[in-house]
Every structure is written in structure tokens, then in C-alpha cells.
């Protein structure tokens, strides 16, 4: 690839795991769907998750396309000549410097700083179809590509997205923009392989939601709403209530409340608000061919269930909420350079 046209960001994720069995890049396995129903509870927390998640980008060049897993949000760069992330690109020229395959010196430097072993494996998982592919780290190139917002010549190492490159031909069956895709690196597959469920909302009334006090932080915003809509959903012993506060046809605030039906205990009370950097996601309309936004279910083997997909994020990165107040939300390291 000699010339880089542009980079397109997608929504999917990359998760740092702890596995030890490497797989060859050509050994790609699909896992059958498991439709076992699971429940979801989302809990707000200020703790930091122990999971590092990144997204996948499509890089389009003159002759080929690369799926790039950028680690730049976590890869700590240094200006010291003995710890630079990339070589001096001034000798290459502006066009040739837009996309670099890093040699062993810079590859080993990145793997060492990120605590990634050549023996680890990269797991690419589509949670919508419950399919997974696996590749050995040693079979993948470490590359650097100019970020989606571009950069002025001469480029610095901070202008690059740095990470693993995958051949899209090895990801057949995945969405071309890698929507609903998560990628994990480690020695074992961390995914529970219990296909997530699309939430099927039914319209209801605000009065049917549990009587819980509003967070006073949002009182003024709620007062500006001229219309209120409510929706509900039941799954595996839990009941979900969604309240949308609307002003001039725009949802300015969304509240998600989840209670356990058996005990009537409130297990989730989350707020999502419209802002310069965030907007409220469209609700699932339950038709077969429409894009699904809200998902729930068991995502990781050793973690509680998850729920996500209630807002779109322009500044910052989207998150995934767990069903346990002791398990903090995880946020995508999406390399968003706004």
C-alpha cells in the first residue's frame, strides 16, 4: 500500500484479554449460535474497568484495504530517540509516509509496552451473529497509519494510529464497517459465546415505571421537555423501563430503569442526555432488517451480563454497562481525535 486515501471509523471494539493458546491466522473458526436467554442490569459507577477496548478501522489504499486495530489510546508515545514508536519518516516523502509496516525494532517496542506476547491470539467476534475468528499475533503486521482527521507534513508519531493490521478477506461474513464486532487479544477466548439479545421495546406509560426519585441534576432539563414517551421490556426475570423526555422532536434526556421482578429491587438507574458530543440513539423498531442499537446479554465468560446502545457519541467514546454495581462500565478506546 503506497498511498492512503482515508480511514473510516466503525463502532466495534477491541478487548484486552488474558489467553495463552495461539492460533494460526489461516485457522478461522465460526461458532454456532447460542440463543440462551439472558438478563441485563446496568449500574452506574465511577470505578475504572480492567478491560481495555479498542475499535476497528477500515483503511482504503490505492490497491488494497486494511482492517486496522488501533492501540494508540493506550500506547504511550515518547519523543526520546531510543523509544520512538515509528522511524523517521522524512526520508520517505509525504505519500509513502502515510502508511508504514513497522520493522522488528518498532514492533517489539509496541508489543513490550502494551504487554502483548507473540504467542497471544487476536479474537474477532461478531456478537450479532455469534461468530468468532482467531489469529495469532505473530502472524499479524504492526502498522502505523495517519489518523482519520489527517495531519500536516512532516508527520510526527502523534499523527499516526498504531496497531495490528488484518486482511479483510479473512473477515468474510462480518459487516464491512465492522459493526457489532469486538476484538480481543490474549491467550484464551474471553467471550461467553451466548449471543446477545436485541431489546424489543413496547410502548407503555411513565406511570407504569417504578416510583424512584429523579436525579436532581436533571430537573431543569426535564422541565424543558414538552413530551414524554415510555417503553418497557421483559427478559429472564427482569423488567426494563425507558423514559424519553422530548423537546421539539428531539430526545434531550433518556432514563433507563431496570428492576428484578421477583424482589422488585431496582438494579439499574441510568441517564443519557443530548449534548454537543452525545445524541440519543434510535430505539430498536423490532423489524427483521433494521439496524439494532440496544443489546443485552452475557458477553464475557467471567463477567456479569451487559447492556448498551442507548446513545451515539461524537466526542469521546461509547461504553458498555455491566449487570453488577461492583463491575464498572467499560469505554471504548476509539482513538477519537476531535
Residue 242 has pLDDT above 80, yes or no: yes
Average pLDDT for 138-151: 94
Task: Write down the pLDDT at residue 289.
Answer: 67
What value does the CA radius of gyration of the chain take, rounded to a whole number of Å?
Answer: 22
| Exposed / middle / buried, residue 271 (Cβ in 10 Å: 0-12, 13-18, 19+) | middle
Instruction: Please calculate the CA angle 75-9-140 and round it to the nearest 5 degrees.
Output: 55
pLDDT of residue 261: 86
Which pLDDT does position 37 carry in this prediction? 40
The span from the CA of 55 to the CA of 70, in Å, is 7
Q: Residue 173, Cα to own-chain centre: how many angstroms?
A: 19
Residue 138: phi and psi, rounded to 5, are -65, -20
Identify the pLDDT of residue 17.
60
- CA-to-CA distance for 182 and 252, rounded, in angstroms? 29
More confident of the two residues 290 and 189? 189
pLDDT of residue 24: 38
Residue 167 has pLDDT above 80, yes or no: yes
- Quote the cell numbers at residue 29: 473458526
* Model pLDDT, residue 9: 41
CA dist 224 to 12, 221, 253, 272, 281, Å?
A: 34, 5, 10, 16, 20
Mean pLDDT of 16-40: 40
pLDDT score of 6: 42
Q: Could you give phi then psi for residue 242, rounded to 5 degrees? A: -120, 130
Q: What per-residue confidence (pLDDT) applies to 201?
A: 96
Locate cell 449471543: which residue?
195
- pLDDT value at position 166? 93
pLDDT at residue 152 tops 90? yes
Residues in the chain, how many?
338
Distance CA 176, CA 168 (A): 8
Sheet harboring 99-101: ordered strands across? 4-9, 56-61, 65-70, 160-166, 141-146, 99-101
Q: How far apart are CA 186 and CA 46, in angstroms?
A: 26
Q: Rounded to the nearest 5 degrees, what angle is found at the Cα of 54, between the Cα atoms of 314 and 155?
A: 80
What pLDDT is recorded for position 286?
A: 76
Amino acid at each position: 500500500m503506497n498511498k492512503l486515501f482515508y480511514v473510516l471509523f466503525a463502532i466495534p471494539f477491541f478487548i484486552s484479554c488474558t489467553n495463552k493458546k495461539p492460533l494460526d491466522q489461516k485457522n478461522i473458526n465460526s461458532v454456532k449460535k447460542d440463543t440462551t436467554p439472558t438478563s441485563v442490569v446496568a449500574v452506574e459507577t465511577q470505578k475504572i474497568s480492567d478491560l481495555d477496548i479498542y475499535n476497528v478501522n477500515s483503511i482504503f489504499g490505492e490497491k488494497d484495504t486494511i482492517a486496522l486495530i488501533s492501540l494508540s489510546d493506550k500506547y504511550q508515545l515518547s519523543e526520546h530517540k531510543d523509544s520512538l514508536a515509528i522511524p523517521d519518516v522524512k526520508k520517505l516523502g509525504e505519500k509513502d509516509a502515510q502508511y508504514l509496516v513497522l520493522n522488528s525494532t518498532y514492533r517489539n517496542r509496541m508489543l513490550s509496552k502494551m504487554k502483548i506476547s507473540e504467542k497471544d491470539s487476536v479474537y474477532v467476534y461478531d456478537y450479532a451473529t455469534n461468530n468468532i475468528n482467531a489469529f495469532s499475533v505473530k502472524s499479524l503486521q504492526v502498522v502505523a497509519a495517519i489518523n482519520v482527521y489527517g495531519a500536516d507534513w512532516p508527520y510526527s508519531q502523534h499523527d499516526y494510529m498504531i496497531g495490528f493490521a488484518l486482511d479483510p478477506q479473512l473477515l468474510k461474513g462480518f459487516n464491512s464497517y465492522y459493526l457489532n464486532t469486538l476484538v480481543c487479544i490474549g491467550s484464551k477466548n474471553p467471550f461467553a459465546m451466548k449471543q446477545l439479545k436485541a431489546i424489543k421495546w413496547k410502548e407503555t406509560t411513565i406511570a407504569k415505571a417504578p416510583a424512584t426519585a429523579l436525579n436532581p441534576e436533571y430537573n431543569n432539563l426535564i422541565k424543558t421537555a414538552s413530551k414524554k414517551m415510555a417503553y418497557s421490556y421483559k427478559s429472564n426475570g427482569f423488567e426494563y423501563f425507558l423514559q424519553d423526555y422530548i423537546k421539539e422532536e428531539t430526545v434531550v434526556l433518556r432514563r433507563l430503569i431496570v428492576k428484578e421482578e421477583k424482589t422488585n429491587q431496582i438494579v439499574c438507574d441510568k441517564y443519557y442526555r443530548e449534548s454537543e458530543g452525545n445524541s440519543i440513539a434510535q430505539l430498536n423498531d423490532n423489524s427483521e432488517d433494521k439496524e439494532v442499537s440496544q443489546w443485552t446479554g452475557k458477553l464475557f465468560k467471567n463477567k456479569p451480563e451487559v447492556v448498551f446502545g442507548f446513545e451515539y457519541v461524537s466526542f469521546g467514546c461509547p461504553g458498555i454497562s455491566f449487570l453488577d454495581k461492583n463491575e464498572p462500565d467499560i469505554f471504548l478506546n476509539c482513538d477519537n481525535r476531535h
